[in-house]
Structure 1
Amino acid sequence: MRGTTTAPNFGIFYNDTAGSQIAANQAATVKARLMAVGYTCQLLTADSALAARTLLAQRLEQFDGLVVVGGDGTLNTAMTAMFESGCFVPLGLVPSGRENLFAKRWQIAKDVEKACQIIISGRLKRVNASVINHQYVCHTTLTIGTDPTATCHELEQEIPFRGWKQLRWWLNYLKHSPKFSLNYQFGNEAAQPITTRIFKVNPYVISKGAKYHEQRESNFTVRYLNSQPLVQMWAVSRMMMTHSLANGISHAQAQTQLNVTTKSDVDMVKVMLDGNIRPQLPLEMNIVRDMYEVFLPSGNFI
């Protein structure tokens, strides 16, 4: 945080557009908790993502830190505002979304009191940002193929599936799910076509839960790429082992640029970012190291 002799001044940003008072109530609880230990706090919200970015861009310079009460989308709104304004302040997160994938990856408790304690402890760590089709985001998983396509189809149903009915629908969809011919290119390598069902990529190297290899944190990690037919499995296995699609090349680390294109109808290929269907092909993804400071629990300093 910025070195000041006065009480830390924090903004508390929350999404109040979903029609529920949960985020507003949690934001009020966070404000009371931080003020109890000597912080000064201001609540911030807006009725759209654009209005929220504008509001944050105008106010960020006043703060020593910003607490985001919400999910992955609310967090990325705040991060986008920082990038657009050029004003970066330490970020705290109180998970309040549906998936909270960023919080799960970094083990930030959904319990408001525990999340506040992480912020009060003052433990900061720099995390990477990704530039996906020229948009700055801080994500956990990007998925292309069957998963987001099935999610899109399921969301289009008039009555959402639940329980065994949902499971049967997903199993039937996976059985008949489409296979896409996609071109993957890491860094300066030549693009390689692979028939793909599911492709997942993560900006962090994760091994056995919360532990990860610090020296490779800036790399892309292919979580899994499940391709058909089986003749493609050698290309897939080689990429997972070497982070390269080229024959005879074994990289010590993955390239920090990924391009994915297709000759098929781009509207058929869905891309899901942290559970939200957003980007479209062609897709260009780059890693920007250590762009944001985030309050994280001590277990993430391994």
Structure 2
Amino acid sequence: MKKAMVIINPTSGGEKALDYKEKLENKAKEYFEHVETKITEKALDATHFAEEASREQYDAVVVFGGDGTVNEVISGIAERDYIPKLGIIPGGTGNLITKLLEINQDIDGAIDELDFNLTNKIDIGKANDNYFGYIFSIGSLPEAIHNVEIEDKTKFGILAYAVNTMKSVMTDQVFNIKVETENGNYVGEASHVLVLLTNYFADKKIFEENKDGYANILILKDASLFSKLSVIPDLLKGDVVGNDNIEYIRARNIKISSDSELESDVDGDKSDNLPVEIKVLAQRVEVFSKPKE
């Protein structure tokens, strides 16, 4: 008997996620004989539900939530012996993982287009004991993300992140960093470090397709406002690799350390302080989405 678990974060979709519960269940029932729905109430609930789905060998887990909820589900299945296939309905503010997979950003549309016969395999990152499907970062950018209140996310959506990010850009923070990889090292000052598993950053394609198990590492070397603003046109053009203020490395195994106490971020949620060791789990999770051309 084929079975699926539906995991819903009730604060997703502008806190209207439960309005879509029946529609999502009915969609899953078109493909699976047994569908069980779990509603999250607190942090890590989605991880525990996903772990249960793996233990009980569910064929699929379908999660309705933002990047943080998706990250929790990934954390529950990424290194299990049995990994259910993953479906994602975008219900957050950024929804960058679903944008990478070209999943419809309209909730009704995403449910209607969910096809359990089409899948893509995606890389998963592991930073110490924390998993991520999109981005690991260090600097004022993750701090700006952390400081966005849930109420502001609901009311203002992505604008809440944009306002806080601009505030962080106006600061002049710099730290000494050491990045060690199999393809080169960086030792020096930096204001941001981003480790991307994708070819996108903030809705903009900045690399060619990345399906080879490598992470894209971007190190913003100068903290001055001028240098930060100089990166913006290159981001818009998708040409950050050619910017003199950015160090670029591609690697599968990464160690990041600093003489300062620095926090890190995975998929929009606070993670460990440095030092951190990152490895890429290539093609680890199979996600329901249309194959990219």
- Fold conserved between structures, TM > 0.5: yes
Task: Tell me, in whole angstroms, the C-alpha distance in 2 between the residues paired with 1:34 and 1:165.
Answer: 33
For residues 99 and 109 of structure 1, the distance between their equivalents in structure 2, rounded to whole angstroms, comes to 13
SS in 2 for 1:148: helix
- Partner secondary structure for residue 80 of structure 1: helix
Q: Is 1:145 aligned with 2:165?
A: no
The answer (yes or no) to whether the contact 2:47–2:76 under 8 Å persists in 1 is yes
The aligned runs of 1:42-57 (5 Å cut-off) are 42-57=36-51
Letter in 2 for 1:192: Y
CA distance in 1, matches of 2:16, 2:257: 40
Q: Does 1:261 align with 2:240?
A: no
Among 249, 256, 269, which residue is 1:276 paired with? 269
Distance 1:44 1:260, change over 3 A: same
**Aligned position for 2:286:** 293
Task: Answer with 71-80 or 201-210: which moved more.
Answer: 201-210
Opposite residue 24 of structure 2, the aligned amino acid is V
- Which residue matches 2:5? 11
- TM-aligned CA deviation for residue 58 of structure 1: 3.1
Shift of 1:111: 2.2
Question: What is the identity, as a one-letter code, of the residue corresponding to 1:28?
Answer: E
Q: Which runs of 5+ in 2 are unaligned?
A: 150-155, 227-242
Aligned match for 1:120, one of 101, 115, 122: 115
Given that residues 34 and 116 in structure 1 are in contact (C-alpha distance below 8 angstroms), is that contact kept between their aligned partners in structure 2? no
* 2:19 is equivalent to residue 25 of structure 1: yes
Q: Aligned partners of 1:71, 1:141: CA distance in 2, in Å?
A: 14
Provide closer, same or farther for how the CA distance between residues 261 and 165 of structure 1 changes in structure 2, counting only shifts above 3 A.
closer
- Measured in 2, the distance between the counterparts of 1:129 and 1:276 equals 16
8 Å contact kept, 1:14–1:45: yes
Alignment partner of 1:67 is 2:62:
yes
Please provide the CA RMSD for this pair. 3.9
User: Of the candidates 86, 94, 110, which is equivalent to residue 81 of structure 2?
Assistant: 86
How far apart, in 2, do the equivalents of 1:165 and 1:75 lie? 20
Structure 1 letter corresponding to 2:135: T
Q: CA 1:40–1:279 in structure 2 vs 1: closer, same or farther (change >3 Å)?
A: same
Change (3 A) 1:291 1:177: same
Q: Tell me the alpha carbon deviations over residues 8-56 of structure 1, each in whole angstroms, 9 at most, x when there is no partner.
A: 42211112478x8522222322012333567542212343344443344
> How far apart, in 2, do the equivalents of 1:184 and 1:38 lie?
46
Distance in 1 separating the partners of 2:193 and 2:220: 4
Larger radius of gyration: 1
For residue 173 of structure 1, report the CA deviation from its aligned partner.
5.0
The one of 167, 177, 186 equivalent to 2:181 is 186
2:4/2:32 contact within 8 Å kept = no
SS of match in other structure, 1:104: helix
Q: Give identity over the alignment, percent.
A: 18
In the aligned structure 2, how far is the partner of 1:154 from the partner of 1:43?
A: 29
TM-score if structure 1 supplies the norm length? 0.73
Deviation at 1:219, TM superposition (A): 1.3
* 8 Å Cα contact 1:99/1:275 also seen in 2: no
Which has a greater percent of strand? 2
Q: Which runs of 5+ in 1 are unaligned?
A: 1-5, 156-161, 231-235, 244-253
Is structure 2 residue 90 aligned with structure 1 residue 95? yes
Query: 1:224-270 CA distances to partner (integer Å, 9 max, x unpaired)?
Result: 5242589xxxxx859746x2xxxxxxxxxx32111111112x1xx34
Deviation at 1:210, TM superposition (A): 9.6
Q: Is the contact made by 1:17 and 1:47 (CA closer than 8 Å) also made in structure 2?
A: no
CA, structure 1 residues 259+166, in 2 after alignment: closer, same or farther (shift >3 Å)? closer
Q: Is 1:225 the equivalent of 2:220?
A: yes
Partner of 1:247: none
> Structure 1's 121 and 204: CA in aligned 2 closer, same or farther, altered over 3 A?
same
1:68 deviates by 0.6
Relative distance call for 1:166 and 1:277 in structure 2 (3 A) is closer
Find the aligned partners of 1:56 and 1:136 in 2 and give their Cα distance.
13
